[in-house]
Amino acid sequence: MLVMPPIAVTLLADGKRPLVFLLIGFLCAFAFIRFNTRVMRAQKRWWFHGGIRTSGVHIHHAVFGVVAMFVAGIIVFALRPGEGWLEVLALAFGVGAALTLDEFALLVHLEDVYWEEAGRKSIDAVILGVTFAALFLTNVVPLGIEQANDLDSSSRWAAFVVVAFNVGFVIVCYLKGKLWVGTVGIFVPFVAVVGAWRLAKPGSPWAHSRYAGDPAKLERARRRDATVHQVWARRKHRLWDVIGGRPHIHLPHQIEERLHLHEDGSDEGAGPRAD
């Protein structure tokens, strides 16, 4: 008699199968699209290159991803399909999510930064998405919510107070530019407390709003960023380059230039710039 390992039983359970198919679609689509874009960049003769264009407009694959997620989501909510079709729609949604997150940096910058340094944000988004789904698959539920439902009324209220308390620290982590610590803190209580207590990254919204009047704290944040965050960022980027390809384009961007000029105060009185 064939005995499946516990992890296989968990993944094949009725409640987990759609998420398994979603993750399979996500990983396969991401692997294919990155292979496709890297081969196109290498300009191999045996591979399609040049992208998809209509009326002179380049159609990014994030467009197809958004459409796939929208259609799959609408069908699920409208028709509530049963087993079989639900897995197919989950697969389609995963494909769409991969196509969209692979160009996450383009959505953030509103510019084609796919092969630039800023394009690494797309790999960040993809890895975070895979991590999020994988934690659900391994029964690591956010903030212990599932366990709280098994408690009596008074204990449940205490558990939700702890959850709400931890959510606040998760939000602070995100505002401080600590996406990884905040995401782990969603699933592992009190991890976000550590990230929220430490200094923010100098380019984060928290630093811009809270450190503007405290030059000493801002300088401490910059020193910490240079000695700790940047070291880990370089190591992460080497791994990201293996996964997604090394950036090779370096172009100035109008949006970032305007922001820097505004922060330096050297853009005062400047007229509107033509796009």
Separation CA 258–CA 271 (nearest Å): 12
Percent of the chain with pLDDT over 70: 77
Q: Residue ranges of the domains in the chain?
A: 1-52+59-140
Q: For residue 1, what pLDDT is reported? A: 45
User: pLDDT tens digit string along 171-184?
Assistant: 999 999 998 888 88
Burial of 209 (0-12, 13-18, 19+ CB in 10 A): exposed
pTM over 0.85: no
- Sorting pLDDT into bands at 50, 70 and 90, what band is 141? low
Strand, helix or coil for residue 44? coil
| Chain position carrying tokens 């991590």 | 131
Over residues 130-134, the mean pLDDT reads 86
Contact assessment for residue 192 and residue 181, using Cβ atoms and an 8 Å cutoff: yes
| pLDDT (0 to 100) of residue 185 | 86
Query: C-alpha 181: how far from its chain's center?
Result: 13
Token pair in block for residue 117: 């340094």
Select the highest-mean-pLDDT range: 3-12, 42-51, 105-114, 251-260. 105-114
How far is residue 123's CA from residue 88's CA, in Å, rounded to a whole number?
25
Q: What is the pLDDT of residue 273?
A: 40
Q: How far is CA 127 from CA 30, 167, 217, 242, in A?
A: 11, 21, 31, 13
- For the chain, report the end-to-end CA distance as a whole number of angstroms: 69
Q: What is the H or E stretch that residue 194 is in?
A: helix 191-197
CA neighbor of 62 nearest in space, from 25, 98, 100: 100
Better-scored residue on pLDDT, 70 or 140: 70
